[in-house]
Structures are given as structure tokens and as C-alpha cells.
Copies of this chain bind each other. A is one copy, B any other.
Amino acid sequence: MADLLTTADDQMLSSRFRATRRLTERLASPLSAEDQTVQSMPDVSPTKWHRAHTSWFFETFLLVPSLPRYEVFHPEFGFLFNSYYEGVGARYPRVDRGLVSRPGIVEIADYRRHVDSAMEEFLARGPEPYDASLVELGIQHEQQHQELLLMDIKHVLSRNPMLPAYAPAAAAPSGRQGTVSWTDHEGGTHGIGHHGDGFGFDNEFPRHTVYLEPFALADRPVTCGEWLAFMDDDGYGRAELWLSDGWATVAAEGWQAPLYWTDGEDGWHEFTLAGDGPVDPTLPVSHVSYYEADAYARWAGARLPTEAEWEVATTTRAETTGVGGNLLDTDALHPTPVTGGDSPPFGDVWQWTSSAYSPYPGFSPAAGAVGEYNGKFMVNQYVLRGGSCLTPPDHIRATYRNFFPPSARWAVAGLRLARNA
């Protein structure tokens, strides 16, 4: 899929629109009608729902208000494929998305073509700046759902006792774990948040000043091998390492390892989008919750970075080396081995920070229904930074704020340690 993904800077909006829409279809293409129908837990959405919902976004926020004589594809789809926008009317319950067999994948493909065709007409007219920003938002929105589509189908397939693969594994490069090096960063006042050039979500604004104590950040993420050492040291069995809510969750859920790990006769296995296989100790650990990341850091005598620390540390580096790393365009679909020396700050695994997801000082959500995009979720979640192997490369940046509840494990999330300098 690398051909579909290039940097956005010099691309026309319409060609980026087309590329994004094509990539979604390509990501869905290995999946059968049955695969695309299942919802394996309330957080997961069926593949065909993602395909329809991303189309509904363009239809609802652009075509209906701004393209004269546009006809909605189906009168019920506004109800079926609204995710959470209270401002645009009632919606089908999220937990029941797996109960809706119709429209099936053929009709949803028709829906996508119907929307695409109208969007071409819309884009050909040269949209006003505000509408163009909504097109950009729709593209970015669909990119988020590309990662969700892959996260979600991984969970779906993992519930099948036959552990089927989404796609064959790419050839695995060799890795070596080595020891961690720490990079020191100065304290004092720093600026964080989006500078204003290029696209940013509202939650990245406004850029503002923070005051930091001096700190150090590890040069690479925690690996599966280190996680196995944590497990061998009874990490999941020692209350003193855990936040109280985390400890209760460990007990309630019976956690003994990251999600998708199973204890086989020949050691720990991990389910991936390529099916079942042995845990590779040189890979960054993934599919751990905030609770687990926090407990691991305590066990390791370190801590998680704040999101400000992460951004300050990463911006400098990103300016030097650019956004690189194992993102969706590598086709790996899984973290790749730590190779020693500095790891890129982007890709492989989202990195939990110790920052609760809160509005930046002076934050104000966008006007209208798209104002519901981010702000209303700023409670009971923690910020993750850096993108993962499932993130489109033109979707990530140093100021990007992802967020999940502290118990969530189905994201490709790991951690990078910090400590006081």
C-alpha cells in the first residue's frame, strides 16, 4: 500500500481524497462478508461499518449542506452510520453494530461509490476554504478509521479459536534489544501544541507555554523481552506496583500478560494480524493498558513521560530526522525489532503518557456538529503519542494527541520510559 501514501504537502486535496478512499477499500479487501460483519466487543466496530461511517461523514458534513441537489444514498443510513454526533440526530446504538446484517458489503461498496462520485463533483468546483478544511477533516477522519479498522479486525479474528490471519506475515528483520540509553532534556518553559502550519485537530490547539523540570527519556520503547522479565518477577501479582483501579482490573479481568498473549507449551505466543506465533523478545511490547504501562514503569524504577515531556523531547528530534519509523506504509502491520541506538519516536507502538486527556489552556472546540469531534471525550482517558505500525504516515506528527481509557488494550500501544534528570 506504500504507493497510496505519500506526504501531503504538495498533493492536491482531491488526489489525497482519492488515495485515502482507495486505501480504506484495500485494507478491507482481504476480509470476507462474514469478517466484515462481526463486532467482537463494544469498542470494536465491524469493518463494513467503518467503510460506511467514513462515507457518511462526507455525506453529512459536506454533500448534504454544500452540494446542491445531492440525494442521500439511503434515508436510514444517517441513523445507522452516525457514530456519536448528538448534533445531527439520533443514532443506532454502538453496542449493537454487529447485529445489523444489512446493508451488506455489496451495498456498502455502492454507497462508497455514490459518495465518491458526488465528492468528485464537489471537489471539481473548487470548494471554499471552510469546506476544504472539512474535506481535510474528512480525510484525517478516515485515516483514523483505517487504524481502527485494523485494530478492530485483529480483535475480531483473535476471538476465533482457529486464530485466522488477516494477511501473511512480512519477512521479519532481526533485532537486538541492548540496554536503554537515556537522553536528558532541560527544564524551564517550553512551547507545546500545534504551530498552525498544516492540518491539526482542535485538541492540538492552542500552542501554549508549559514549565517542565529537567527530565530524561529512554531512547527506545520497552521490549517484549523486558516485559517477560516483569512477568517473571511477578509483576502482575504485586499490588504495590499498581494503581488501585489497575489492580482491581487485573483481578477482575484475570490479566497475566498483554492482550493477545497466550501461554503455550513452548512459551508465550502472540496473536497478530499474521496469525499466531511465538513472542519475539526484541520487539516493542504492545497491547498493554495504561495500568500495565504505569505498573511496569514503577517496577523498572522509572515513570511514564508527560505528554509535554514527550512532545518537547520529540520535536527537536523530529525536526532533525523527520517523521520516520514503522508506520502503515511499511506493510509490516506489527511492531518491528528494536535495532539498538535511537529508535524513531514515531511508529511501531503508540506510547502511553502519564497525562490525563484534558483541554489545553484556551481550548475551544470547532463550531457546529464537528465540534463534538474531540472535546467531549476529555475525561477518563490518557494521552498516547507517536503513532503505531497501523497509522498512516501522513497522519502523524509531534503534536498529535491520541487517547484511550486507562484499561483499553486493543490499540497497538506500548511505552517509552522517562525519569527525573
Contacts and interface: CB of A to CB of B under 8 A. Distances in A.
Interface string A23-61: 000000000111111101000000010000000000000
Contacts of A100: 38, 159-161
B76 A32 contact: no
Given A87-B240, A362-B213, A32 B379 contact: no
Given A33-B32, A160-B100, A376 B211 contact: no
Contacts of A174: none
A92 interface: yes
A242 B189 contact: no
A242 B376 contact: yes
Interface string A358-383: 11011000000000100011111000
Decide if the interface of chain A is mainly helix, strand, loop or mixed. Answer: mixed
Interface in A242-265: 242-247
A340 interface: no
Interface string A187-212: 00100000000000000000011111
A99 B242 contact: no
Contact of A40 (B99, B164, B244, B372): B99
B104 A32 contact: yes
A406 interface: yes
Given A358-B354, A380-B380, A162 B102 contact: yes
Contacts of A40: 99
Contact of A159 (B96, B290, B372, B379): B96
A93 to B, nearest CB: 10
A243 B378 CA distance: 7
A245 B358 CA distance: 14
Interface stretch (A78-86, A124-132, A319-327, A409-417): A78-86
A301 B361 CA distance: 15
A101 interface: yes
A80 B163 CA distance: 13
A102 B160 contact: yes
Interface in A270-309: 290-291, 294
A218 interface: no
Nearest to A211: B211
Given A160-B101, A189-B211, A240 B86 contact: yes
A376 B102 contact: no
A13 interface: no
A99 B379 contact: no
A167 interface: no
Interchain residue pairs A-B with the least CB separation, the first 5? A356-B356, A86-B239, A33-B33, A211-B211, A34-B101
6 contacts: A32-B104, A37-B38, A40-B99, A84-B244, A100-B160, A189-B189
Interface of A: 32-38, 40, 48, 76, 79-80, 84, 86-87, 92, 96, 98-102, 104-105, 156-157, 159-162, 164, 189, 208-213, 239-240, 242-247, 290-291, 294, 354-356, 358-359, 361-362, 372, 376-380, 406, 420
